[in-house]
Structure 1
Amino acid sequence: MNIVVHQLLMPGSPTFTVLHLSDIHIDFSYKPGSQTECTQPLCCREGEPAPGHAGAGFWGDLHSCDIPYWTAEKILQYAAALEKVDFIYYTGDLPPHNVWNQSRTQQLYSLNKINQLLAKTFPNKTFYSAVGNHEAAPCNLFPTPNVRSDNISWLYEVLAESWIKLGLPSNTRESIERGGFYTTVIRPGLRLISLNMNYCSAENFWLFINSTDPLGQLQWMIDWLQYAEDNGEKVHIIGHIAPKQCLASFSWNFNKIVNRYENTIAGQFYGHTHNDEIVINYDEVDLQRPISMGYITPSLTTFSYLNPGYRVYKMDGYYPGSSYWVLDHRTVIMNLTATNMYNQTIFMDEYVARDAYQMENLFPNDWHELIERLKNDIDGLLMGLVYQYYTKSYAKGAQCDHNCRRGLLCDFISFRSEDPHACDSIPN
């Protein structure tokens, strides 16, 4: 296999724009003025605040709380009015975090209400979606195909119907209903592969029965990547959970696939963590050669202690020989403290990647060079910036100490889970 050097084929080439939404987590039981600190996993729903403590803000709260419907509606309306996007990636997790008290009926209510909101707000845009771990009831539990008495078809059938209404072609229905994954052509030359990463998650206890790719999803992905390679297509991969957070067998096999098809895979896009992160895939032989980028977009929800946010990508494309690589990205957040204070939604461009990090491009090697700069960031200013954006400016001005720095850098380059040597290059 010839290794392609990451570069624009045409300087000043045409570009297109993609909106990336993830982890909306609307709480339909959110109650302004309620307790922000409680004994349950999700607060801001009931009870009077303790003496001396403020109640939940009208627009949301920077505690263990999800966002109310009206806040999500305002964020999406702002994005629809401001962002001139070609299409939208949505990487899962719509229901709230009341994981101790959820039913199939409640989950489907959340899915239908939020998908209706998306369709109403972006009436002429196609959504390319991936299923999150919170869509199931109980949360995280996605039965393997051999489980017949407690299967997950109730969810996949609704997802197929709603995703097709949001713009997917009808020929994706069969694979969505079978396993919550699909492939489609976005434009001639650009293929999308949407993976159901719940079948690699350690939190999916059904994998104790069979954790080795129980749906044959990796082989299916290989088949489509080979098809793309044979037909001169580039591929974007979307999923909810990044492979670095998967069970080791899946994670390591996934990286082997990325290594084999590094010339075909133009980008990976995930959510799940709620933070602003990256993950760099490296060559399995030359561990200093970056080959692919995974972007983990920040959440719309505030859970936990995070401003709401979304991501916009500028990409190379729509001309013969397009790379379809991410050229730059911009993150937008709602300043929740100011929004509650003035009772007026206040948005800001938190940062633009190339300007903020002084990067020439956003190719894998550029991100690798940023990691090298962060390793030697003596005064901590650059690392402080990374940490601020990691928390969507909740931790603005906070110090990221040695352990914090090592943890974040290790996380950004740990492309295989449970790799004992993943962080050997990070100074102790």
Structure 2
Amino acid sequence: MIMRLMLLGFLVFSLAFQGAVAATSECEECKTIVDLLQFEWGEKKTEECVMEIAVFICETFHIEDNDVCNFIISDFSDEFMYVISKILVTPHQLCGLLMKNNCGDFVDPLATIWNMTIPGNQPAYVPKQIVPAGNPTLRALHLTDLHVDMFYTPGMEAQCDTPQCCRPQDMNVEIVENYQSAVKEPAGPWGNVGSCDTPYWLLTNMLQHIANTAGQLDYVMVSGDLVSHTVWAYTPETHSFMVRNLSDTIRSYFPNTPVYFAVGNHEGVPVDNIAPHFTPKKYHMDWLYKTMSDSWKGWIPEDQEKTLEYNGCYMKKIYDGLRMISLNNVYGDRINFWLYINQTDPDGTLQWLINQLQDAENAGDKVHIVAHIPGSDSEALEGYALNYYKIINRFTNTVVGQFFGHTHSEQFYMMYSNPDDYKSTPNNVVYSAPSVTPYSDFFPAYRIYTIDGVHSGSTYQVIDYEEWYFNLTSNNANPTNVKWEQLYKSANAEYGLKGQTPDEYNQMIERMKTNDDLFNRYYENRYRRTIYDGRAPCSDQQCRNGYLCDARQFHQTNQLCTDLEGGMIKPKDSKKKYSARFVTSQEKRRGKEECKI
């Protein structure tokens, strides 16, 4: 049993990070190593060694970087051991899972495809039209991925060897032991592009700037990820503090403006992990949801507090004819390892979404959805993403706005009547706003939408949006006179759109195939015009096709990109997502000696 647990420990992380290899020789090597380890260690190893052995295999196979491998023996081993004890596979099934291509007996504990029952009686599709001018409008601020680091320290090393820099490293004995007094790149006074998160004073400066310059804001959306990337330090206490602190901070700058939050993957403890209620009670996230419920009082209806405190979702009728739904889609996160036990609609969030959309359709209301992880992201589970896609397609006349985050870059995603056919009808656009954090390649930014307002027959569709960014290079050079700059005043004008409709965005993708100026503009805006990390221009067709394919995908399929000639190279996500707790040299030596590795 212990050997099985050890192998499963390796299985869970290799699955999550997709570090699989497929060569026949490596398949045989995997089987041989599994057999040798089973012979050498037998079934007598204590549970304390299971995690050490899993790390050993992870590092030996170079499945992931050593920091990710060492995450296995972090403070979260209790939760991890519970999950892997529930997944029953044989050692050779492990190789079948990792190598995929006819290596051993294939097994898929994630049960990747599962189906929700979608309601029938779908009304005839009504194409979204360009909103005519002259009617009242709403203005909505969209913030995402704040990732505030309360320990950001100007002058600290910005180019450190850990996944989180610009802060004291004294929690890491190994780094301190080898620390060089000469700082290669001092952290800037207002933040740093790279492996650094948002200083608290940068957040408050942004909020003050918005309060002073934006004019009337009718509501604010925050698409999740409030805390920093220092996942080794995640605890319920620190997360509760950050939820309360940042909610109060935003409220202090917008005391009369409602704010609608969504749960992000970094709200999980451990990171990415939101335990559904089929797990033992000690793992439940009720403490997080209760903190959110208490911190967001006045912004969400009292009759929604019970739902929020159960699964992190809620709905509010924000105007006559318009509802806001906050969907906790961390239940569709590939690295939420609780889902390896059972990923089928955890805590009923998608069934709850169906019920909410059916109620809205019956009432003739429109719906905006705020959530965190886009369905095509590498961290998204395809089963959850595809079911969400089908739900939105069923209620495509009702859902008129979707507001996501997570990627840190400015993006949009198309949705089509056939999820696997780009030639089918484009029926929805998903907005993914730029992050406040500069981690890893971005200047901080925010977005403000202009939306069809409250009037008879309102569509409540997005009409246009503007973006503002904070140039860390120039502002760090002149830290006493910082300024926020407008990236562009109008997305419609920036990209030559007649309006914010699915047809217009679909045609924009077509135009970007050959229009260099348009594509380069989109490419530069995606990164808020940063020039960090030696990023080369996206000048060849394969690179361009990768970005165009991204825009078509809101679930994980390349069927939407078959017309992109010349092949494609998908944009490389340099955002370091997993800031593992670095174990010390002493801990490594002790673990290997005790387990005879």
Determine if the TM-score, normalized by the shorter chain, exceeds 0.5: yes
Q: Could you tell me how far apart the structure 2 residues matched to 1:283 and 1:201 are? A: 24
Deviates more, 1:243-252 or 1:190-199: 243-252
Number of the residue aligned with 1:345: 482
Contact 1:235–1:266 under 8 Å retained in 2: yes
Contact 1:60 1:66 in 2 (8 A): yes
Give the partner amino acid of 2:539. Answer: D
1:410 is the counterpart of 2:543: no
Shift of 1:136: 1.9
Instruction: State the number of aligned residues.
Output: 424
Matched residue type, 1:202: R
Residues in 2 aligned to 1:52 and 1:110: alpha-carbon distance in whole angstroms: 29
Pairing 1:331–2:467 present: yes
Counterpart of 2:501?
363
> Distance between the aligned counterparts of 1:144 and 1:11, measured in 2?
46
Structure-2 residue corresponding to 1:321: 457
> Which residue does the alignment assign to 2:414?
280
State how 1:20-419 maps to structure 2 within 5 Å: 20-46=142-168, 51=182, 53-83=184-214, 84-147=216-279, 148-165=281-298, 167-245=299-377, 246-284=380-418, 287-288=422-423, 289-343=425-479, 344-351=481-488, 352-377=490-515, 380-395=516-531, 399-402=537-540, 403-417=542-556, 419=557
TM superposition score normalised by structure 1: 0.95
SS, match of residue 88 in structure 1: strand
Q: CA deviation at 1:9?
A: 6.3
So what's the TM-score if we normalise by structure 2?
Answer: 0.69
Q: Name the CA distance, whole Å, in 2 between partners of 1:268 and 1:79.
A: 22
Q: Distance between the aligned counterparts of 1:254 and 1:190, measured in 2?
A: 20
Structure 1: gaps spanning 5 or more residues:
none
Provide, for residues 333-367 of structure 1, a one-character-per-residue CA deviation record: whole Å limited to 9, x for no partner.
Answer: 01111111111222111012111111111101000
Aligned-residue offset at 1:10 = 4.7
Q: Please state whether the residue corresponding to 1:164 is helix, strand or coil.
A: coil
Quote how far apart the aligned CAs of 1:46 are.
2.7
- Partner AA of 1:324 in structure 2: Y
Maintained 8 Å contact 1:28/1:69: yes
Between 343-352 and 388-397, the greater mean CA deviation after superposition:
388-397
Distance 1:371 1:321, change over 3 A: same
Contact 2:244 2:292 in 1 (8 A): no
- Percent identical among aligned pairs is 36
Residues 153-180 of structure 1, C-alpha deviation per residue, up to 9 Å, x if partnerless?
A: 1101101111224x22222201000100
Cα distance in 2, alignment partners of residues 8 and 53 from structure 1: 52
Q: Tell me, what secondary structure is at the counterpart of 1:215?
A: helix
Rounded to whole Å, the distance in 2 between the matches of 1:270 and 1:281 is 14
C-alpha separation in 2, matches of 1:305 and 1:372: 27
Q: CA deviation at 1:244?
A: 2.5
Shift of 1:27: 0.5
Give the letter for the 1:327 counterpart: I
Do the aligned residues in 2 keep the contact of 1:19 with 1:88 (CA within 8 Å)?
Answer: yes
Larger of the two Rg values belongs to structure: 2
Distance between the aligned counterparts of 2:472 and 2:422, measured in 1? 41
Residues 26 and 68, structure 1, Cα contact 8 Å, conserved in 2: yes
Partner Cα separation in structure 2 for residue 158 and residue 291 of structure 1: 37
Cα shift at 1:101: 2.2
Worse-matched range after superposition: 66-75 or 279-288:
279-288
Per the alignment, in what secondary structure is the counterpart of residue 173 of structure 1? helix
Instruction: Give me the whole-angstrom Cα distance separating, in 2, the residues matched to 1:34 and 1:267.
Output: 41
Rounded Cα–Cα distance in structure 1 between residues aligned with 2:411 and 2:531 = 15
* Structure with a larger share of its residues in helix: 2
Query: Is this contact kept in 1: 2:130–2:500, CA < 8 A?
Result: no
Contact 1:130/1:195 (8 A) holds in 2 = yes
TM-superposition CA deviations, 1:237-293 (whole Å, max 9, x none)? 110112223211111111111111111110100011110001110111863221011
Is 2:140 the partner of 1:18?
Answer: yes
- Give, in whole Å, the separation in 2 of the partners of 1:423 and 1:292: 18
Instruction: Give the match's secondary structure for 2:354.
Output: helix
| Distance in 2 of aligned mates of 1:109 and 1:399 | 41
- C-alpha displacement of 1:90: 0.8
| 1:214-233 deviation per Cα after TM superposition (whole angstroms, max 9, x unaligned) | 11111111111111111110
8 Å Cα contact 2:452-2:462 kept in structure 1: yes
User: What amino acid sits opposite 2:549 in the alignment?
Assistant: C
1:145 shift after superposition: 1.0
Q: Please, which moves more after superposition, 204-213 or 280-289?
A: 280-289
- Give the letter for the 2:373 counterpart: I
**Are the equivalent residues in 2 in contact too, given 1:388–1:398 (CA < 8 A)?**
no
Return the offset for 1:50: 7.1
1:88 and 1:125 in contact (8 A); partners too: yes
Contact 2:422 2:561 in 1 (8 A): no
- AA of the residue aligned to 2:551: F
Counterpart residue number, 1:421? 559
Match of 1:347, as an amino acid?
Answer: W
